[in-house]
Amino acid sequence: MKEVEISRAIVEAYFNDLLENLSLDVAIVGAGPSGMVAGYYLAKNGAKVAIFEKKLSIGGGIWGGAMGFNRIIVQEEAREILDEFGISYRPFKSGLYVADAVEAATMIASKAVKAGVKFFNMIEVEDLVVKENHVAGIVINWTPVMMTGLHVDPLTVEAKFVVDSTGHGAQISGHLLKRGLIERIPGEGPMWAEKGEKLTVKHTGEVFPGLYVTGMAANALAGAPRMGPIFGGMFMSGRKAALEILKRLG
């Protein structure tokens, strides 16, 4: 076993995958719960989809449950999504279920990979490709380059649709705001779990031609309340975006 053969295998496998994923049906930005669920339903139904995550680890804000107490709450309307991913849960009181955050994160990630989602971690999406008033892809750079502020030009990935699943900061939609392509991002409102959950799903959708938002990014764009450690809305948001995009892809 030669060290250089190990290096050759890694470089070849990784760059083959990257080459293979430079043209996508859907590029999802952010591997939190809403982005991973969207990716799963898209890939399961035949779309070519990759998720770009700036951190080393995927899962976004799901791992810690609330305050690091690693349990999440899911409401009745989203229970079928727990079943779809094979996540175990127990009823707490009428209409509310408790699941293990680590089990939820790992099951969703695993099913997404098996459905055909390609994850690229440690890659930050630093901008969008916009042509003739339509989002046509993402601009990517290596997270350590972004962290160190080195002046290194990015690469691009073309995609028929881009999904902003970047959570509270709605970073990707922010790139359109700073160019005056969307009018405003009011940011999420203070905690109101029930309303926040409903509005997450309601405001999931296309916010600019070719760009969808999910999860907390949808709340940030709509000025809708946050909801704390209840995750059914994140799951339903991801599924809603996927089903709408699948229709458009035909």
Residues at the contact surface with ligand 48H, assessed by CB under 6 A: 29-35, 52-55, 60-62, 124-125, 165-168, 171, 191, 215-217, 226-228, 234
CB 31 within 8 A of CB 121: yes
Strand order in the sheet with 71-75: 71-75, 96-100, 89-93
Quick one: 47 or 227, whose CB is closer to ligand 48H? 227
Quick one: 8 or 179, whose CB is closer to ligand 48H? 179
Least distance to ligand 48H, CB of residue 78, Å: 12
**Number of other residues whose CB lies within 10 A of the CB of residue 91:** 11
Q: Residue 156: beta bridge partners? A: 139
CA–CA separation, 177 vs 146, rounded Å?
Answer: 20
| Residue reference for tokens 């209840």 | 230
Least distance to ligand 48H, CB of residue 90, Å: 20
The CA–CA distances, whole Å, from 191 to 39, 96, 186, 194, 230 equal 27, 18, 15, 9, 12
Least distance to ligand 48H, CB of residue 234, Å: 5
Quick one: 47 or 58, whose CB is closer to ligand 48H? 58
Least distance to ligand 48H, CB of residue 6, Å: 28
Quick one: 75 or 166, whose CB is closer to ligand 48H? 166
